[in-house]
Amino acid sequence: MPQSIQNSFTAAALPPIVITASEAHRLSALADSSMAVFPRVAQFLARETDRAQVVADDADLHDVVRMGSRLRYRDDETGDVREVVLVYPHEADIALRRISVLTPVGAALIGLSVGQTIDFQTPSHQTRAVTILAVAHQS
């Protein structure tokens, strides 16, 4: 399938996402500042931030993946279930299951709700899909 057709098909299938105003601002700045070093994932994060429904910081987003959320997701290809915390790059620590929003899967997770599925491209250019199973917010 030609790349442009594949990209437009994937873009059409993207689920709606929700991000708070302060997170949208910070994530947009992170994407902009990372373009030179991590162009593919920075562009993906910028696209996700741009297409998100932006809501007030105090909105009730209990089932939505936000920064600092502990979440469980399923890799739809392998069936593996992972529990991670979504964090900013300087807080990432794979040993503690703290994944950066500036990774392909991290950028894919932001703003999703329980039950939603999204496709994203891995660093090796494979398309993967993940489904959100549960979300809990840090106090």
Residue 14, pLDDT score? 86
Residue 4, pLDDT score? 39
CA 51, chain centre distance (Å): 12
The residues that bridge with 128 in the sheet, in sequence order, are: 120
Residue 139, pLDDT score? 56
Kindly give the parts of the chain with pLDDT less than 50: 1-12
What is the signed CA dihedral for 133, 105, 35, 65, rounded to 10 degrees? 10
Residue 11, pLDDT score? 47
Select from 58, 75, 80, 59 the least CA-distant residue to 109: 75
Give the residue extent of every domain in the chain: 18-137
> Angle 86-66-124 (CA atoms, 0-180°, nearest 5)?
45
- Report d(CA 124, CA 65) in Å as an integer: 25
By three-state DSSP, how is residue 132 classified?
strand
Residue 94, pLDDT score? 93
The per-residue pLDDT for range 73-106, each reduced to its tens digit, is: 999 999 999 999 999 999 999 999 999 999 999 9
The residues that bridge with 129 in the sheet, in sequence order, are: 119
- Report d(CA 10, CA 98) in Å as an integer: 27
Which tokens is 26 given? 């910070």
Question: Which CATH number is 18-137's, of 1.10.8.590, 3.40.50.880, 3.10.50.30, 3.10.20.30?
Answer: 3.10.50.30
Residue 12, pLDDT score? 44
Residue 6, pLDDT score? 40
Residue 1, pLDDT score? 38
Residue 123, pLDDT score? 85
Which tokens is 124 given? 């090796």
By three-state DSSP, how is residue 83 classified?
strand
Residue 125, pLDDT score? 86
